[in-house]
């Protein structure tokens, strides 16, 4: 799609924020007014492609903004505090978000938090009411903690789809169906903001398999590749404006040649530096992750990339 055309659609799309369905009764804190946006989650969030795509969208929509997007997804993490026997071949138990959450909110002071949990919380076992209860308590506890930390806006994201190597969508994904549906029900029951990625990804996967039986969104059934991350971003962006030309924009981000592709690559580069620095600075209990640079050095690297982004933005003028 023509670069100028996309920019025009961006301008049109952001005349109003949040025109899509299933928004809270009260007008939420405008995301364009945020200074810091924090993403929490497991290894899917840590991988970061959907976060970088969403940040590309924010920068394109608000080129003069100073929104800082911080990805603090942590591989293996849960909100439930559960860990299956022999996880990681017995090397370590799954990290529990609440062991680091207070330090994260205290040191980052985010205005907006996105949180995507559930994939690890059922610990890849058949449905268990007790495990489900632990997940529900964890999500409610997370909301309570974030409110107490004076986070202005909390947006939950349902877990992504799971494809069992033998049972396909009829295995562990059935557990995630229940977790995702419970989270969606909290829109009505608790007036939570919840973006659904689970059922759209499931529908997409089912449709693709009708034409390509061997198609996979995730080679291991858990961690989506770039196409899966594009789908996640495709669900998140319209939540903030359903008139935005999301599919065209994301296609441009991933075509490897356009202005938007250059922007996305710069944001991926910056995210890789900043997320590990923040994870090291705020602390975590997950072994095997890269040790991040000291935060002051990471911020200098971030500014170097920000200067490149600003130069890139001038090419649109």
Query: pLDDT tens-digit profile of 21-58?
Result: 477 777 899 999 999 999 999 999 999 999 999 999 99
pLDDT tens column, 251-288: 999 998 899 999 999 999 999 999 999 999 999 999 99
- 91-98 contacts: CB < 8 A, separation 24 or more? 91/287, 92/285, 92/286, 92/287, 94/120, 94/123, 95/284, 95/285, 95/286, 96/285, 97/40, 97/138, 97/142, 98/138, 98/141, 98/142, 98/145
User: In degrees, to the nearest 5, what angle opens at C-alpha 233 toward C-alphas 177 and 197?
Assistant: 10
277, two tokens = 């620095």
Please state the φ and ψ torsions of residue 106, each to the nearest 5 degrees: -65, -40
| CA pair distance 235, 49, nearest whole angstrom | 14
Largest CA distance in the chain: 57
- Whole-model pTM? 0.94
Run of H or E residues at 194: strand 193-195
The residues spanned by each domain of the chain are 34-260+283-290
pLDDT tens column, 179-217: 999 999 999 999 999 999 999 999 999 999 999 999 999
**CATH code for 34-260+283-290?**
3.40.50.1110
168 pairs with which residues across the strands?
164
């Amino acid at each position: 799609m023509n670069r100028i055309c996309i920019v025009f659609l961006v301008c049109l799309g952001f005349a109003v924020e949040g025109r899509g369905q299933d928004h809270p009764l009260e007008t939420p804190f405008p995301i364009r007014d945020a200074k810091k946006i924090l993403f929490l989650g497991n290894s899917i969030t840590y991988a970061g492609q959907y976060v970088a795509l969403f940040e590309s969208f924010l920068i394109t929509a608000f080129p003069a903004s100073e929104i800082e997007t911080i990805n603090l997804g942590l591989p293996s993490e849960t909100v439930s505090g559960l860990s299956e026997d022999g996880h990681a071949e017995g090397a370590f138990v799954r990290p529990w978000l609440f062991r680091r959450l207070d330090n994260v909110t205290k040191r980052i002071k985010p205005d907006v938090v996105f949180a995507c949990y559930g994939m690890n919380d059922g610990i890849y076992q058949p449905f268990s009411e007790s495990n489900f209860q632990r997940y529900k308590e964890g999500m409610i506890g997370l909301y309570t903690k974030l409110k107490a930390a004076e986070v202005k806006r909390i947006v939950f994201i349902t877990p992504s789809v799971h494809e069992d190597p033998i049972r396909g969508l009829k295995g562990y994904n059935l557990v995630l169906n229940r977790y995702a549906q419970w989270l969606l029900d909290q829109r009505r029951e608790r007036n939570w903001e919840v973006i659904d990625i689970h059922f759209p990804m499931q529908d997409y996967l089912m449709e693709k398999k009708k034409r390509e039986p061997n198609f996979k969104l995730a080679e291991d059934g858990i961690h989506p590749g770039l196409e899966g991350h594009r789908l996640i971003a495709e669900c998140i962006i319209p939540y903030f404006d359903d008139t935005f030309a999301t599919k065209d924009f994301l296609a441009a981000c991933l075509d490897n040649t356009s202005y938007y592709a250059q922007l996305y690559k710069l944001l991926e580069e910056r995210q890789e530096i900043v997320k590990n620095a923040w994870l090291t600075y705020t602390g975590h209990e997950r072994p095997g992750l890269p040790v991040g640079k000291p935060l002051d050095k990471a911020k200098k690297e971030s500014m170097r990339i920000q200067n490149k982004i600003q130069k890139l933005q001038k090419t649109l003028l």
